[in-house]
Amino acid sequence: MDNILEIKNLCKKYDNFELKNISFKLPKGMIMGLIGENGAGKTTTIKAILNIITSYSGDIKIFGLSNKNETIKEDIGIVLDDMFFPEIITPKDINNSMKNIYKNWDSKIFNDYLKKFSLPNKQIKTFSKGMRKKLEIATSLSHHPKLLILDEPTSGLDPIARDEVTNILQKFIENENCSILLSSHNTTDLEHIADYITFINNGEVILSKTTNELLDKYGIVKCTEKEFKDINTKDYIKYKKTKYGYEILVENKKDFKEKYNIKIIDKVTLDELMILMIKGVK
- Give Cβ neighbours of residue 84 (< 8 Å, ≥ 6 apart): 132
Give tens-digit pLDDT for 200-228: 999 999 999 999 999 999 999 998 999 99
Per-residue CA distances from 224 to 235, 245, 273 (Å): 16, 5, 20
Per-residue confidence at 125, pLDDT binned at 50, 70, 90?
A: very high
- Segment 23-78, tens digit of pLDDT: 999 999 999 999 999 999 999 999 999 999 988 999 999 999 999 999 999 999 99
Average pLDDT for 272-276? 93
Q: What is the mean pLDDT of residues 90-115?
A: 96
What is the reported pTM? 0.93
Residue-averaged pLDDT of the chain: 93
Q: How distant is the alpha carbon of residue 63 from its chain centre?
A: 19
65: helix, strand or coil: strand
Distance CA 175, CA 143 (A): 15
**With bands split at pLDDT 50, 70 and 90, how would you rate the model's confidence at 1?**
low
Percent helix, strand and coil across the chain, each rounded to 5? 35, 30, 35
Please give the pLDDT value at position 210: 96
Q: What is the structure's pLDDT at 103? A: 94
44 within 8 A of 113, measured Cβ to Cβ: no
Domains parsed from the chain with CATH numbers: 3-209 (3.40.50.300), 218-279 (no CATH)
How many Å apart are CA 79 and CA 57, to the nearest integer? Answer: 24
Distance between CA atoms of residues 262 and 27, nearest Å: 37
